[in-house]
Amino acid sequence: MTVKIGFPDGKSKDYKKGTTPAQIAEEIGIRNIIAAKLDGEIKDLTTPITRDSRLMLLKFEDKEGKEVFWHTSAHVLAQAVTRLYPKAKLTIGPNWENGFFYDIDTDPFHPDDLSKIEKEMEKIVREDHKIERLELDKKEALKTFKDNQYKTELIKEWEDRELTAYKQGEFIDLCKGPHLSRTGLVKAFKLVKVSGAYWKGDQKNKQLQRIYGVSFPEAKQLKEYLTMMEEAEKRDHRMLGKKLELFMFHDWSPGSPIILPKGTIIYNTLLEFIRSEYSKRGYKEVITPQLFNKALWELSGHWQYYTENMFLLKVDDQEFSLKPMNCPSHVLIFKSRTRSYRELPLRIADFCCLHRNELKGVLGGMTRVRKFSQDDAHIFCTEEQIEEEIKSLLDFFKYIYVGVFKLPFRVYISTKPEKAMGTEDQWEKAENSLKKALDASKIPFKLKEGEGAFYGPKIDIDVKDSIGREWQLSTIQLDFQMPNRMGAEYEGADGKKHVPVMIHRALIGTFERFLGVITEHYAGKFPIWLSPEQVRILSVADRFSGYAEKIAKEFSKKGIRATTDTRTESISYKVREAQMEYVNYIIVVGEKEVNDGTVTVRTRDNKILGQFRSDEFLQQLLREVESKTQAS
Amino acid sequence: MTVKIGFPDGKSKDYKKGTTPAQIAEEIGIRNIIAAKLDGEIKDLTTPITRDSRLMLLKFEDKEGKEVFWHTSAHVLAQAVTRLYPKAKLTIGPNWENGFFYDIDTDPFHPDDLSKIEKEMEKIVREDHKIERLELDKKEALKTFKDNQYKTELIKEWEDRELTAYKQGEFIDLCKGPHLSRTGLVKAFKLVKVSGAYWKGDQKNKQLQRIYGVSFPEAKQLKEYLTMMEEAEKRDHRMLGKKLELFMFHDWSPGSPIILPKGTIIYNTLLEFIRSEYSKRGYKEVITPQLFNKALWELSGHWQYYTENMFLLKVDDQEFSLKPMNCPSHVLIFKSRTRSYRELPLRIADFCCLHRNELKGVLGGMTRVRKFSQDDAHIFCTEEQIEEEIKSLLDFFKYIYVGVFKLPFRVYISTKPEKAMGTEDQWEKAENSLKKALDASKIPFKLKEGEGAFYGPKIDIDVKDSIGREWQLSTIQLDFQMPNRMGAEYEGADGKKHVPVMIHRALIGTFERFLGVITEHYAGKFPIWLSPEQVRILSVADRFSGYAEKIAKEFSKKGIRATTDTRTESISYKVREAQMEYVNYIIVVGEKEVNDGTVTVRTRDNKILGQFRSDEFLQQLLREVESKTQAS
């Protein structure tokens, strides 16, 4: 008896029924496999394959591979705690965004306890226990976990008859899995913090101890991660935002940043940068309302699927909402008069603010907000125009991220999910347009099979910052659904009515989030074109203040953001202060400069650039700002 | 027995007790007096003065003078209707913004009936009846109006024991007054329209007939008004907004304009104009939240006095509101850290959108909206800095309205009202600062005695458009109250804490409203710096399309908003279309232009400017845009 195994590259091969993914991996000689995806479900490597299946072998580099790795790490942590604190009761131990945690009912841990637990974990890893999956019926399970009221509660709530547990050495835990095959694989880990938590997140329940950890297959990866975290902490945008007075938050408007004058300069400069590209690239900007009647959201489908993220209110005794997205209002504009194929592609851009009701608990800094604006645009086009439009979007993307920000990136196409609107033929054409456009633009990409939205396939782009963290900023989504649903149509060359395709796209993404990300990327040292204060002119003594003011005025007139510091403080004090505030160029003027009509310039990193004629230095500044580079 | 009468110029004089304002006006030889203001209350000219009083004689030019004039006009209308339609029942007849109306329970009027009624009104005016005030007790009043259920209802609801009615000839109407002394004074009037209305505005009640009229003391004024209205209708911004695709409205967001691409260009150009002035004039722009907790509005006082204008909603199970004003959030920014006197004046500017819950019935076009943005700023300064700040605000104002828009204006100072916060001394100093600043800026002004806000005096500026209508656009308000109430303070040179003064100011005012006003002012023919389409290049035949595109590209590169029309249509057709869309310059290119590298230019008013070298014409365009003028 054989089973046919299909691989991601489209090839397939017959194997003996009961063969495990581990055996297949060994046969093809792939190492460092963590788990397997069988027909879309993640399984232990030791799962016997009993029917024809699609197989994908997961490594730590895959998102789902990481999840399995971290889940096993949580079990190693739990085993260590159980050995050291026999009275501790385990509750649940899932992944979190950067690793794993376990909630434990026990006396509060001291941070010092963590190293004791780490030592025990190292022992468990050295012992290299085999990890076994056990299938239990409810009765057996209740017997096995009878001393733990939390696990008992979970077992009773369990809907199926069968449950699973995982065993490693003397330790057994109730768990759906899957897991690594041996504890010895958790080569590198660190417990990073301990905090309070509540059983089922409910403050009425007893407080538990939550231990957070991170783990990796290699010690080198752990070291890199810890270095990155240390670096990330130093450039945390919340800390820098306060120090550099870029933005602030207030309890009376949670999730809505107050962007201070210096932050607003960066924000507006970014926005103007995008706006100036829009005028070159044929976009038309509009300004749209904040409040819309429920009727709009019912027509667009948001009322049915998205209300929990919307801020609702009564207007004229009817249900209204603050808009969470611009797309439906752009369809109203499209529909406001008869449209001809000659007007397509019609690219409608909108910087108006949006509101989404994120849970208060998940709000954080500029990267998780409730109120924000995006470089949002919707392109209405024909099916034939998709490829060309995507190509010009990729060109736009490259201009921003390669040309200006010089950041590496990774591109993914998410394809048709199981539940999807539109015909097979439409999807195939659309996915092919995306692929062809990426190929033509010489941009490599990976597929995320089945991860498209129900209304169309999309391109997601992850951008890597200066300390290696990846941020999903840009998105390009095809939509066959909304224009049809909302009754948008145009008159074709054939004189008949057709439904346009809609492309939802944002390249910067959310400006607030982008501002947070680049604050960390540059560690607050913004390049000159974005910098809130580009030049500060310091006078060596009172009698040179007039000259300093004159230079500042000349620079300001040409659009350079220049200030003066003419206080009676020592010049070294004034230089240090300007450097602490990351002013790009610091000019010192005294006797010599006044006599020669020059300026002496140094950078925020204390590099002395020397003496320049002031008009020549101004020209250099203008060139740097214009070209969005900085010489220093 | 004498009474002391105080006049607006500060002088006073003794008169015999019982003297009437009419006698005083005659004595000092002032003509065309309509009514009198006695200690702030408006009275008939025939009212005997029985105690020491402040007296102001009102003319038609005064707002309250107009109101009395129009009110008497409504009585003349009512008398005419009663003569012609004896079964008609009168209800109420107040002023509206441009005249008067009367709501009457009768069979529907035909528009032709209006001229019949006008004829009867002319007769009543010629009859020149004396208008007498009658004081009635409730019983007498009920008897007098027993045949009219509406007046009966009003009398029963009346809270005082005494009521008044006014009698002219055979006609008597229940009315608080005051009124003109004779019907003969209503020299010029016109009934402008008739529409349906409901008793007490309630649709459940019977429908009434509402007749609208306008009236003036002189025939010439009526003629001018009617000409202006005719002109206003031709340039109605709602009509032009649709025709030129500047903005649109949708029932699903009442009062929130959707600003279309061309309108957005004008909007953003205006905003950028103000923003560029801000950077020259030391303003710091911020971006603030839309939603704020009730706690903020309680602290600012808006919760107590302004909630009916606010859109309320629940956030995290607490009361929140969409902000109707920026000021409280700017105080939060001021308070976000210790402030020193060295930072003052601190000028915080904000273009974020605001929401005010205007009644749906009063919304109209761009001039009465619920969602809008302003060129709003708040200046925190010391009392000593007020005068200097006001001077620079007046300079800013003059730059906008004299320098750029070239519009005449009138300035008013509104002084301390009866109920006011702050000491006499503070008010006097503040009012003097305003006066001194206006004097120093050589700007004449009038006083609006007692019309300041409770928190401080203010300067209001009315701007006159090209057809003579006045718009209150700019406001400059001093506020001694909010910084104190919200706990804003700075450290003075003396090392002690002081409360800053706050200046609320907007010069453009609401951008939406301004856009509506200038659309009408320019009748849609925007000056080149604001124009959505500055140049259109038309090709005489297909083979010149390339040259047209080349010119358009060169112009666009320099920031000129240039398009092409290379369709295979006759050149006269294409010229006419561009002129209908008010494109500033229309360029035609053919054989000759291609050979010579030139362009042939005409204006939207069909003035032929001739042939230019294309780079020379581009330079001229850039100069016009830069200087905000247009040669043509």
The pLDDT tens digits of the residues spanning B265-292 come to 999 999 999 999 999 999 999 999 999 9
Report the pLDDT value the prediction gives residue A454, as an integer from 0 to 100. 81
Distance from CA of B286 to the nearest CA of A (A): 5
The radius of gyration computed from the CA coordinates of chain A, to the nearest angstrom, equals 29
Q: What is the DSSP letter of A110?
A: P
Angle between helices B614-627 and B545-557 (to 10 degrees): 40
- Rounded-to-5 percentages of helix, strand, coil across chain B: 40, 30, 35
CA–CA gap between residue A518 and residue A515 (Å, rounded): 5
Give the model confidence (pLDDT) of A602-620 as tens digits: 999 999 999 999 999 999 9
In a domain, A530, yes or no: no
In a domain, B275, yes or no: yes
Report the pLDDT value the prediction gives residue B417, as an integer from 0 to 100. 87
Report the pLDDT value the prediction gives residue B630, as an integer from 0 to 100. 63
3-state secondary structure of A18: coil
Specify the higher pLDDT residue, B23 or A201: B23
Strands (E), A260-403: 283-286, 291-293, 312-315, 318-322, 346-350, 353-355, 371-381
Query: Could you tell me if B331 and B441 lie in one domain?
Result: yes
∠ CA A131-A137-A138, nearest 5°, is: 110
Q: Does the pLDDT of residue B490 top 80, yes or no?
A: yes
Q: Which tokens sit at B65? A: 């003078």
Closest residue on chain B to A253 (Cα)? B292
Which residues of B carry out catalysis? Answer: 327, 356, 374, 376, 378, 458, 504
Catalytic, out of A103, A105, A376, A460: A376
Query: Could you tell me if B132 and B192 lie in one domain?
Result: yes
Distance from CA of B261 to the nearest CA of A (A): 5
- B487: alpha, beta or left? (left if phi > 0; alpha if psi -120 to 50): left
Give the model confidence (pLDDT) of B493-548 as tens digits: 999 999 999 999 999 999 999 999 999 999 999 999 999 999 999 999 999 999 99
Which ipTM was obtained for this model?
0.85
Q: Does the pLDDT of residue A630 top 70, yes or no?
A: no
Task: For residue A71, indicate whether it is catalytic.
Answer: no
Report the pLDDT value the prediction gives residue A426, as an integer from 0 to 100. 85
Beta carbon pairs, A and B, within 8 Å = 134
Give the model confidence (pLDDT) of B177-201 as tens digits: 899 999 999 999 999 999 888 998 8
Neighbours of B501 (CB within 10 A): 28
In a domain, B499, yes or no: yes
Write out chain B residues lying below 8 Å of A335, CB-based.
Answer: none
8 Å CB contact of A258 and B355: no
Question: Tell me, what CATH number does B251's domain have?
Answer: 3.30.930.10
Q: Does the pLDDT of residue B632 top 80, yes or no?
A: no
Backbone angles phi, psi at B40, to 5 degrees: 85, -10
Smallest Cβ–Cβ distance between A258 and the set B288, B353, B360 belongs to: B288
CA–CA gap between residue A90 and residue A83 (Å, rounded): 12
Distance from CA of B137 to the nearest CA of A (A): 41
Q: Which of A217, A215, A212 is nearest to A189 (CA)?
A: A215
Report the pLDDT value the prediction gives residue B304, as an integer from 0 to 100. 86
Q: Which tokens sit at A535? A: 């030049």
Closest residue on chain A to B511 (Cα)? A287
DSSP string for residues in B403-469:
IIS---EEEEEE---SS--S-HHHHHHHHHHHHHHHHHTT--EEEETT-SBTTB-EEEEEEE-TTS-
Q: What is the span of the domain harbouring residue A301? A: 247-521
In a domain, B241, yes or no: no
Q: Cβ(B608)–Cβ(B602) under 8 Å?
A: yes
Write out chain B residues lying below 8 Å of A310, CB-based.
Answer: none
- Pick from A375-384, A578-587, B94-103, B374-383: least confident: B94-103
∠ CA B203-B204-B210, nearest 5°, is: 45
- pLDDT (average), residues A203-212: 90
The radius of gyration computed from the CA coordinates of chain B, to the nearest angstrom, equals 29
Q: Does the pLDDT of residue B611 top 70, yes or no?
A: yes
Query: Could you tell me if A46 and A74 lie in one domain?
Result: no
- pLDDT (average), residues B253-273: 97
In a domain, A526, yes or no: no
Identify the domain boundary among B235, B260, B275: B235
Q: Which of B323, B353, B513, B285 is nearest to A288 (CA)?
A: B353
Query: Could you tell me if B51 and B73 lie in one domain?
Result: no
Q: How far is CA A560 from CA A527, A533, A630, B201, B472, in A?
A: 13, 9, 14, 58, 36
Task: For residue A52, indicate whether it is catalytic.
Answer: no
Strand partners, A340: A491
pLDDT band at A631 (very low <50, low <70, confident <90, very high): low
In a domain, A188, yes or no: yes
Report the pLDDT value the prediction gives residue A570, as an integer from 0 to 100. 94
3-state secondary structure of A256: coil
Q: Which tokens sit at B197? A: 């209305």
∠ CA A112-A118-A122, nearest 5°, is: 155
Report the pLDDT value the prediction gives residue A362, as an integer from 0 to 100. 81
Q: Cβ(B451)–Cβ(B431) under 8 Å?
A: no
Q: Does the pLDDT of residue A589 top 60, yes or no?
A: yes
Q: Is B591 exposed, middle or buried (0-12, 13-18, 19+ CB in 10 A)?
A: exposed
Q: Cβ(B595)–Cβ(B611) under 8 Å?
A: no
Task: For residue A378, indicate whether it is catalytic.
Answer: yes
Report the pLDDT value the prediction gives residue B204, as an integer from 0 to 100. 87
Identify the domain boundary among A207, A235, A263: A235
Query: Could you tell me if B544 and B584 lie in one domain?
Result: yes
Report the pLDDT value the prediction gives residue B418, as an integer from 0 to 100. 82
CA–CA gap between residue A32 and residue A441 (Å, rounded): 33
Q: How far is CA A57 from CA A39, A422, A520, B9, in A?
A: 12, 31, 35, 94
- Sign of the Cα torsion B398, B401, B405, B406 reads negative
Write out chain A residues lying below 8 Å of B487, CB-based.
Answer: none
Query: Could you tell me if B176 and B216 lie in one domain?
Result: yes
In a domain, A586, yes or no: yes
Find which of A253, A312, A369, A561 to mutate to test the B interface (most B CBs within 10 Å of its CB). Answer: A253
Q: Which tokens sit at B372? A: 């809008």
Query: Could you tell me if B82 and B113 lie in one domain?
Result: yes
Q: Which of A288, A285, A468, A258 is nearest to A369 (CA)?
A: A258
Give the model confidence (pLDDT) of B21-60 as tens digits: 999 999 988 888 999 999 988 999 999 999 999 999 999 9
Q: What is the DSSP letter of A71?
A: H
Q: Which tokens sit at A443? A: 């941009």
Give the model confidence (pLDDT) of A290-319 as tens digits: 999 999 999 998 998 889 999 999 999 999
Identify the domain boundary among B39, B59, B79: B59
DSSP string for residues in B30-73:
--S--EEEETTEEE-TTPPP-S-EEEEEE-TTSHHHHHHHHHHH
Smallest Cβ–Cβ distance between A260 and the set B250, B286, B295 belongs to: B286
Query: Could you tell me if A190 and A320 lie in one domain?
Result: no
Check: pTM over 0.90? Answer yes or no: no
Question: Tell me, what CATH number does A17's domain have?
Answer: 3.10.20.30
Question: Tell me, what CATH number does A604's domain have?
Answer: 3.40.50.800
Angle between helices A386-398 and A424-440 (to 10 degrees): 40
Smallest Cβ–Cβ distance between B291 and the set A280, A360, A371 belongs to: A371
CA–CA gap between residue B459 and residue B475 (Å, rounded): 6
Q: Which tokens sit at A191? A: 């417990």
Query: Could you tell me if A38 and A177 lie in one domain?
Result: no
Distance from CA of A337 to the nearest CA of B (A): 10
Report the pLDDT value the prediction gives residue A114, as an integer from 0 to 100. 94
Query: Could you tell me if A68 and A198 lie in one domain?
Result: yes
Rounded to the nearest integer, the mean pLDDT of chain A is 93
Q: Cβ(B348)–Cβ(B506) under 8 Å?
A: no
Q: What is the DSSP letter of B309?
A: G
Question: Tell me, what CATH number does A202's domain have?
Answer: 3.30.980.10
Give the model confidence (pLDDT) of A39-75 as tens digits: 888 999 999 999 999 999 999 988 899 999 999 999 9
CA–CA gap between residue B193 and residue B110 (Å, rounded): 10
8 Å CB contact of A264 and B251: no
pLDDT band at A461 (very low <50, low <70, confident <90, very high): very high
Query: Could you tell me if B540 and B498 lie in one domain?
Result: no
8 Å CB contact of B258 and A288: yes
Distance from CA of A369 to the nearest CA of B (A): 11
Q: Cβ(B554)–Cβ(B505) under 8 Å?
A: no
Smallest Cβ–Cβ distance between A260 and the set B253, B291, B333 belongs to: B333
Q: Does the pLDDT of residue A458 top 60, yes or no?
A: yes
Map tokens 């993640």 to a residue. A42
8 Å CB contact of A333 and B260: yes
Q: Which of A286, A447, A400, A273 is nearest to A352 (CA)?
A: A286
Q: Does the pLDDT of residue B631 top 70, yes or no?
A: no
Query: Could you tell me if A219 and A76 lie in one domain?
Result: yes
Q: What's the total number of domains in chain A?
A: 4
In a domain, A559, yes or no: yes
Q: Does the pLDDT of residue A97 top 80, yes or no?
A: no
Rounded to the nearest integer, the mean pLDDT of chain B is 93
Task: For residue A182, indicate whether it is catalytic.
Answer: no
Strand partners, A590: none
Report the pLDDT value the prediction gives residue A304, as an integer from 0 to 100. 86
